[in-house]
Amino acid sequence: MNQDVSRVVIGMDPHKRSVTIEVMTADETVVGGGRFDTTVEGYQLMLEHVAAWPERVWAIEGCEGIGRHIAHRLLADGQDVVDVPAKLSARARVFATGQGRKTDATDAHSVALVGTRMAGLHPVVSDAQLEVLQLLVDRRRWIGDEHTRKISQLHRILLELLPGGAKKYLSAAQAKALLSTVRPRDAVGKTRKRVAAELVADLERIYARKKAADKELKELVAATGTSLLGLHGIGPSGAARLLVEVGDLSRFPDRNHFASWTGTAPIDASSGDHVRHRLSRGGNRQINRVLLIMATVQLRTPTEGRAYFDRKKAAGKSSMEAMRCLKRRLSDLVFRTMLSDYVAGKVTGPGGHRGNVSDSSATGSQPHTSSSEKPLPGPVTTQRRTRLPAAS
């Protein structure tokens, strides 16, 4: 193979213990490929296989999921890596094969096609601060999940120990006080009380871990310089999740595209003269949950969000419809806050990418702009961030 060929795209279908790759030139000619283990030896064999193409970029499906481990190994070796969304590779597979059947080879081929044809794919970057923040915010979520499981188990046992059980929102101290009033006489009752006491002890340890995790997250988020913590309803976990998931804000041309990504923009379902919109069940569900928590917190106190919600209810919308409108408004508020931080250069990380935000509309993100009923925007048009060979 001529060593002076133009840059190639290496499409990869990753798994835990193996990867399948395909090397594709700009004219979509397949010039190499194979299946390799993810062990040290297999990884080295893969690099030796692609050494004939020094000008290369790796297109990997699922760089924030199953492909994360191999993507960051390649980044550590100075390789250029772009993330290929699973939806794009699935569409390319259907167009290329005429059907949706999956094999590792066809998946690698479809990923390579997307990497060759598409401009503006999101480059994968290595950022220590981002990695630390993601690890800690994931750990905080796991602690919360563990707390939910323990509380559910405790409620089940208390229902059998106490007539009517305990109240819905129960702390470890309250549960301990309730157990002190129970005097079971039989072996079953005594065992239930002992197990419940063990669950209370587990909850006390979980509370301590949650408190320490929140403190650590708050310090790390504050160190980034973000203004998200100043928004009512966003705590350290929510702010960290936003920073981790958003990454480079310049990939969103405006607030409408950001709302589409968060799943708060309703989908246009109009047909003929009948104009209607329906709920979007797509988008980033973790960020959608952050916005839901933010909206719920704002509804509990006399805030601008509460006033906006009440106005929507007075206009004839149901509670669910008003909540969706409020989430869309809060999505705009979050985008405006993050955009202001990036433009002002306040945020030094995570990600560390201010990028080109000239396509973003700061003037279109004013709080009084009514945007809650707007449908999903059209296709995103972004600038190319990693040079890829153009299709012939």
List CB contacts of 205: < 8 A, sequence separation 6 or more.
none
**Angle, helix 304-314 to helix 319-344, in steps of 10 degrees:** 140
What pLDDT score was predicted for residue 100? Answer: 66
Question: Considering the entire predicted model, what is its pTM?
Answer: 0.70
Is residue 83 within a helix (H) or strand (E), and if so which, with residue range? strand 81-84
Question: What is 39-73 written as a DSSP string?
Answer: SHHHHHHHHHHTTT-SSEEEEEE-TTTTTHHHHHH
Domains of the chain, by residue range, sit at: 8-123, 128-223, 228-365
Going residue by residue through the chain (392 aa), what tens digit of pLDDT does each one get?
444 457 899 999 999 999 999 999 988 899 999 999 999 999 999 999 999 999 999 999 988 788 889 998 999 899 999 988 888 888 888 887 777 678 889 899 999 999 998 877 888 877 777 888 889 999 999 999 999 999 999 999 999 988 888 888 888 999 999 998 889 889 999 999 999 999 999 999 999 999 999 999 999 998 888 899 999 999 999 999 999 888 878 888 899 999 998 999 887 777 776 766 667 777 889 999 999 999 999 999 999 999 999 999 999 988 998 999 999 999 999 999 999 988 887 555 544 444 333 333 322 333 333 434 444 444 333 333 333 333 33
What pLDDT score was predicted for residue 358? Answer: 34
Superfamily per CATH, domain 8-123: ATPase, nucleotide binding domain (3.30.420.40)
Tokens of residue 25, six digits: 């030139």
